[in-house]
Amino acid sequence: MELNMDYPFYDIEKKWQKIWQDREIAKGTDFSSKPKYYVLSMFPYPSGVLHIGHASNYAIGDAISRLKLMEGYNVMQPMGYDSFGMPAENYAIMHNSHPRITTEENIANMRKQFDGMGFFFDWDREVSTCRPDYYHWGQYIFKKMYENGLVYRKKSFQNWCEQCNTVLANEQVEDGACWRCGSEVIQKELEQWYFRITKYAEELLDFSDVIEWPERVMTMQKHWIGKSEGARIEFTLPDTEESIAVFTTRPDTIYGVTFMALPPEHPLVQKWLEEEPENHAMHDFCKKVINEDKVLRSSTETEKEGIFSGRYCINPLNGDKVQIWITNYVLMDYGTGAVMAVPAHDQRDFDFATKYGIPMKIVIQNPENNLHLDSMREAFIEPGIMASSAHFDGMPSEEAKSVITDWIAKNNWGEKTVTYRLRDWGISRQRYWGNPIPIIHCPKCGVVLVPDEDLPVLLPDNVQVGKTTSNPLLSVPEWLNVKCPKCGADAKRETDTMDTFVDSSWYYARYADAHNKDLPFDTEKSDFWLPVDQYIGGIEHACMHLLYARFFYKFMRDLGWVNGNEPFLRLLTQGMVLKDGAKMSKSKGNTVDPQYIVDRFGSDTLRVYLLFASPPEKDVEWNDEALMGAFRFLNRIHRLIEGNLETIKKGLQLEADTDKLSPEMKKLLFSSHSCTKKWLEDSLDRMQYNTSIAAIMEHLNHCVAIKDADNLDNDALAVYAEACGIIPQMLYPFAPHIAEELWQMMGFETLLHESGLPGYEERYLVQDTITYVVQVNGKIRGKLEMSPDSPHEILKEEALKVENVQRALDGFEVVKVIVVPSKMVSIAAKAKR
């Protein structure tokens, strides 16, 4: 007897990994006549070791892929490496090596671990963003963007991380700290390259072409884009040609403007500073504010400060002379970078005006409680009735918004306009390990694109990584100095590299044609594979990667390279694996090494544990004992089938006459079909694998409950064999190795997925009797075994006869009896008087 032994997971897993590889089951076939299904799990940064988060992410992708494979799709799930970027550069510095070497070593290590997990990946399509055959085409796309007016260079104050020695996009700053290293972000003035993502702002707000995205992610993106509708209005400066444009969402308050608020960075302010070098107060104030931490400055907590500029502008609607103030609370890069301040109806302006004694004017009256300037403790920001606003008086303010905007437009003072919170995407990074921007700076021709035939601009190897404080690429003269491709003059290469989010904005398309040497990808192939049917990854990418990738997709669509409007039709944001309630991290010392688990218990156990612990989008708390539960579960299955193998094989040849079954075997038959039904719904429709696995466990319990299977008669044997036989089928997406092994043991010669999905028959779900619950006034007072087609009248009668029900009705009279078909009889009663 071998009952005490664990099933031989190691041999089984190695055996099937080899067979799958030889049979190329994970190969996505270009232009196959079968319907395609493109599953994509976010590619990892090659740290060299798989962590538990990867295992969890890829276990989900594997389950989806194998389910779709069983369904008969031409499934493609590729894998690659997001291998450019600061971590790789820092890792190399730490190991006193070169990122090209350490990255390739790490990739080789991870590949070994991936293979040991038995994941369903089409490795023929592997990409690694740091290899020239990939980044070549990133440069090519950059050029296409440039040619289409989506790339520009601008000097401005940037989020700068001292630790990483580079610029960060707004999305990459979290609570004033660098998203990667967590150190403080400062402001530094730099000239850098931008992608004009704002051109697509409106379209990025539209999610009508995605099939299934979490509401949360769409909301986060919508907030991030931050559309607001309002008016742009020009305030002229008397005795000059100049004017100040403001953006406001409250044109209804324009008669209440009592001052104009500008940030020190405003071009007019800069001009005044030049004109008045001796105005020390103004110079000092502007200098102080500009040098202030941008995050601190843009916090609601910060005390509002300002200085009167000594200048005035004219409110075009009423001709009022309005003081112009330079302040610390207006943002240069939102709207027009200037605010018409209406202290009576905006809290920020109210605070500022109160501090500096600037007058206020009520122009929206509260219809419920008349406002008086003397008694106002805060701004009135609600809608109300127009007042002191010339011929608009008496109009509801909500209505006045559009009426006044029309009036402004009609008089040429401004126009209706829309503003977005989304800024253009700064892609320059002052680091070595990234994709070089294919630009040459020529003293004569200016900015020149590197010609296609000279692509890729290869990243030089001989850089002293980590030894420079400025751009590392500046230290390689033989790379830096080139001839201008246009005029042949001595010129210099651009030394910024691209943000790694550029690399990951189009990798899903490269997978469709990963080895193309002439183009990023062939359109016929992208048309076949794209868009991605199911994307799986972490929620942390909601406003960065997922927004950038959508932007790139829309651009590639405009070039005619891809079809449709969205790259990812369905998105699953998987939860994190936690330990002791916290995210696993080396610094906290609460990590779990998936390789250790695989070595000890096998990949199948790890996957079943991760998938069973909670629904995919929720976090999972790591629990060693629950992991053992998963291992025991697989052992139980193995024991059931191996221990009854001959019986099962014999039974599989038989056909059951289901009318002749014992009640016990009828129950088992019902379990086979009802559990399969639940499994199908939970696996395919709901993608809730924890309950799919629960259905298998439940069914397994029913199978194990049949003792002495070899003594069953032929009808029972057939039912028993079928019941055992569907277990490997249902197990396949979650524990594919053991499933294949058991399937083969039972004598099937095909690979498991080739048999298709397990099915169920409705006729076996019909039971002779149903347990009806009988309620009296909402409380359960009895049960009733009745046939499912019993007439309602009979059910009511029988329900009232139940002893316990009668007792509950003592002293009550029945008001109403309700029958819920196949479920219950509910009796409403009230006390007799």
Site for RNA in 205-264 (CB under 7 A): 215-216, 219-220, 223-224, 226, 228, 230, 247-250, 263
Stretch that binds RNA, among 272-280, 314-322, 520-528, 695-703 (CB under 7 A): 695-703
- The residue length of the chain stands at 833
Q: Figure out which of the listed residues 156, 236, 302, 516 binds RNA, where binding follows CB under 7 A.
A: 302
CB nearer to RNA: pick between 329 and 380: 329
Tokens of 468: 């420079």
SS3 sequence, 54-69?
Answer: HHHHHHHHHHHHHHHH
Q: How far is the CB of 269 from RNA (least distance, A)?
A: 13
- Report the alpha-carbon distance of residue 693 to residue 120 in Å, rounded: 20
- CA-based Rg of the chain, rounded to a whole angstrom? 35
Q: Figure out which of the listed residues 690, 755, 767, 790 binds RNA, where binding follows CB under 7 A.
A: 690
The total of other beta-carbon atoms located within 10 Å of residue 245's CB is 15
Site for RNA in 539-558 (CB under 7 A): 539, 543
Q: How far is the CB of 479 from RNA (least distance, A)?
A: 37
Question: Distances in Å between the alpha carbon of 407 and those of 250, 255, 313?
Answer: 14, 13, 20
- Report the alpha-carbon distance of residue 85 to residue 98 in Å, rounded: 13
CB nearer to RNA: pick between 666 and 781: 781
Q: How far is the CB of 54 from RNA (least distance, A)?
A: 20
Phi and psi torsions of 725, nearest 5°: -65, -30
Burial (CB < 10 A; 0-12, 13-18, 19+), residue 464, is exposed
CB nearer to RNA: pick between 572 and 808: 808
CB nearer to RNA: pick between 519 and 705: 705
Site string for RNA, 304-323 (x = CB under 7 A): x-------------------
- Report the alpha-carbon distance of residue 351 to residue 354 in Å, rounded: 5
Q: How far is the CB of 658 from RNA (least distance, A)?
A: 23
CB nearer to RNA: pick between 476 and 572: 572
Site for RNA in 260-289 (CB under 7 A): 263
CB nearer to RNA: pick between 365 and 419: 419
Site for RNA in 664-683 (CB under 7 A): 678, 681-682
Site string for RNA, 335-374 (x = CB under 7 A): x-x-xx-----x-x--------------------------
Q: How far is the CB of 572 from RNA (least distance, A)?
A: 14
Q: Is 3 in the site for RNA (CB under 7 A)?
A: yes
CB nearer to RNA: pick between 444 and 830: 830
**E strand or H helix at 341, and its extent?**
strand 339-341
Stretch that binds RNA, among 27-35, 38-46, 73-81, 777-785 (CB under 7 A): 777-785
Q: How far is the CB of 529 from RNA (least distance, A)?
A: 31
CB nearer to RNA: pick between 384 and 436: 384
Are 324 and 309 within 8 A, CB to CB?
Answer: yes
CB nearer to RNA: pick between 30 and 234: 234
Site for RNA in 474-503 (CB under 7 A): none
- The residues pairing with 396 across neighbouring beta strands, listed in sequence order, are 385
CB nearer to RNA: pick between 242 and 305: 305
- Strand-pair category, 385-386 with 339-341: unpaired
- Report the alpha-carbon distance of residue 637 to residue 739 in Å, rounded: 9
Q: Is 831 in the site for RNA (CB under 7 A)?
A: no
Write down the residue that tokens 């989010």 correspond to.
Answer: 501
For residue 209, how many C-alpha atoms fall within 13 Å in the half-sphere facing its CB? 15
| CB contact burial 522-537 (16+ within 10 A = b; e otherwise) | ebebbebbbbbbbbbb
Q: Is 1 in the site for RNA (CB under 7 A)?
A: yes
Site for RNA in 558-587 (CB under 7 A): none
Q: How far is the CB of 231 from RNA (least distance, A)?
A: 8
Stretch that binds RNA, among 35-43, 327-335, 397-405, 719-727 (CB under 7 A): 327-335
CB nearer to RNA: pick between 175 and 659: 175
Q: Is 830 in the site for RNA (CB under 7 A)?
A: no
Q: Figure out which of the listed residues 120, 255, 329, 432 binds RNA, where binding follows CB under 7 A.
A: 329
For residue 701, how many C-alpha atoms fall within 13 Å in the half-sphere facing its CB? 6
Contacts of residue 75, Cβ cutoff 8 Å, sequence gap at least 6? 26, 28, 36, 37, 39, 65, 68, 69, 120
CB nearer to RNA: pick between 505 and 573: 573
CB nearer to RNA: pick between 419 and 428: 419
Q: How far is the CB of 681 from RNA (least distance, A)?
A: 5
CB nearer to RNA: pick between 515 and 823: 823
Site for RNA in 118-177 (CB under 7 A): 170, 174
| CB contact burial 302-330 (16+ within 10 A = b; e otherwise) | eebbbbebebbbbbbbeebebbbbbbbbb
Q: Is 765 in the site for RNA (CB under 7 A)?
A: no
Q: How far is the CB of 163 from RNA (least distance, A)?
A: 20
Site for RNA in 408-427 (CB under 7 A): 419, 421
Answer whether the bond into residue 531 is a cis peptide, omega within 30°.
yes
Site for RNA in 45-64 (CB under 7 A): none
Q: How far is the CB of 730 from RNA (least distance, A)?
A: 13
Site for RNA in 167-196 (CB under 7 A): 170, 174
For residue 530, what is the DSSP state?
Answer: P
Q: Is 778 in the site for RNA (CB under 7 A)?
A: yes
In one letter, which amino acid is 635? Answer: N
**E strand or H helix at 675, and its extent?**
helix 663-680
- Report the alpha-carbon distance of residue 18 to residue 14 in Å, rounded: 6
- Report the alpha-carbon distance of residue 180 to residue 821 in Å, rounded: 58
| CA torsion angle 499 504 506 512 (round to 10) | 150
Site string for RNA, 428-467 (x = CB under 7 A): ----------------------------------------
CB nearer to RNA: pick between 42 and 484: 42
Question: Distances in Å between the alpha carbon of 517 and those of 133, 137, 447, 504?
Answer: 8, 9, 27, 19
- Report the alpha-carbon distance of residue 656 to residue 716 in Å, rounded: 7
Answer whether the bond into residue 456 is a cis peptide, omega within 30°.
yes
Stretch that binds RNA, among 2-10, 15-23, 192-200, 473-481 (CB under 7 A): 2-10
Q: How far is the CB of 724 from RNA (least distance, A)?
A: 14
- The residues pairing with 820 across neighbouring beta strands, listed in sequence order, are 824
Size of site (CB under 7 A) for RNA: 95
Q: Figure out which of the listed residues 97, 113, 298, 366 binds RNA, where binding follows CB under 7 A.
A: 298
CB nearer to RNA: pick between 514 and 700: 700
Dihedral sign from CA coordinates of 741, 746, 747, 752: negative
Q: How far is the CB of 78 from RNA (least distance, A)?
A: 29
- The residues pairing with 155 across neighbouring beta strands, listed in sequence order, are 191
Q: Figure out which of the listed residues 280, 779, 832, 833 binds RNA, where binding follows CB under 7 A.
A: 779
Site for RNA in 586-645 (CB under 7 A): 600, 612-615, 618-621, 623, 625-626, 628-630, 632-633, 635-636, 639
CB nearer to RNA: pick between 247 and 528: 247
- Report the alpha-carbon distance of residue 306 to residue 289 in Å, rounded: 9
Dihedral sign from CA coordinates of 482, 486, 490, 491: negative
Q: How far is the CB of 219 from RNA (least distance, A)?
A: 6
Q: Is 198 in the site for RNA (CB under 7 A)?
A: no
